[in-house]
Amino acid sequence: MRADLQVIEPWIAPGSQVLDLGCGDGTLLAHLQQTKQVLGYGLEIGAEQITKCIEKGVNVIEQDLDSKGLSNFADQQFDTVIMTQALQAVRRPDVMLDEMLRLGRQGIVTFPNFGHWRCRHYLLWKGKMPMSKSLPHTWYNTPNIHLCTFKDFEVLCRQKNIKILNRTVVNAQFEQHRFALMWPNLLAEFAVYRIAHA
């Protein structure tokens, strides 16, 4: 099982309604359908990913978050709105957070931590935009147009009066590590946040 699924699964109530923004090949929703009997919908724009979702029996809707937004969904229509590894790729992450919590009672967000020591090290010593296994793109051709650190994200949540219910920090293999818990913004590569309106 994919490690992030293990983190997310306990936060999903059985039989609840879940919206996954940028659902990829539908692995997460297929898993939640099986283990939690959720009514799930995924939003995706990749043609091959969409076909993979359909092959898995996952409800998938072809919709571009940036151009169309989420106005076609009703307030508090979902129990959980999930966005894994995509917040940094949307045009307005702040508006996206508002929308997630308009549609769902809780939101689950994962993103790569730009404050990780490797990124800092790369920038400090090479003087160039960091590239790594988890951030493999060049600065001029990358889907990740709004990279941020955990601290950045948490400041934004505070400003928006969004409550962080849980935060699980992990490394690239989605393993939790003792040191990462002590200095997450420096030592953890990814975080899984569970958020709700305060």
Partner 1 sequence: MPKSLPADSVGVVQPQRMHFSAPLPLVCGKTLDQYDLVYETYGKLNADASNAILICHALSGDHHAAGYHSMEDTKPGWWDACIGPGKPIDTDAFFVVSLNNLGGCNGSTGPNQINPETGELYGPDFPIVTVKDWVNSQARLADCLGISQWAAVVGGSLGGMQALRWSLDYPERLRHAVVIASTPKLTAQNIAFNEIARKAITSDPDFHGGHYYRHNTVPAKGLMLARMIGHITYLSDQSMDGKFGRDLKATEFNFGFDVEFEVESYLNYQGKRFSKAFDANTYLLMTRALDYFDPAADFGGSLEQALQHAQCGFFVASFSSDWRFSPARSELLVESLVKAGKRVSYVEIEAPHGHDAFLIPTPRYMDVFSAYMQGVAREVNSAC
x/- binding map, residues 80-99, to partner 1, per CB under 8 A?
A: --------------------
77 is an interface residue for partner 1 by CB under 8 A: yes
Residue 23 lies near partner 1 (rule: CB under 8 A)? no
Among the listed ranges 5-13, 61-69, 93-101, 124-132, the one in contact with partner 1 (CB under 8 A) is 61-69
CB of 198 to partner 1, least distance (A): 27
Count Cβ atoms below 10 Å from residue 62 Cβ, excluding itself: 13
Distances (CA, A) of 58 to 21, 39, 73, 134: 13, 9, 18, 26
47 binds partner 1 (CB under 8 A): yes
Decide if residue 59 touches partner 1 (CB under 8 A).
yes
Of positions 53, 100, 162, 170, contacts partner 1 by CB under 8 A: 53
x-or-dash string of contact with partner 1, 3-22, rule CB under 8 A: --------------x-----
- 74 backbone dihedrals φ, ψ, rounded to 5°: -85, 155
Q: Is 105 in the site for partner 1 (CB under 8 A)?
A: no
Residue 124 burial by Cβ neighbours in a 10 Å radius (0-12, 13-18, 19+): exposed
How, if at all, do strands 162-170 and 190-197 pair? antiparallel
Provide the sign of the torsion angle of the four alpha carbons 99, 197, 153, 186, taken in this order.
negative
Tokens of 126: 């090479």
The residues binding partner 1 (CB under 8 A) are 17, 39, 41, 47, 50-51, 53-55, 57-63, 72-74, 77
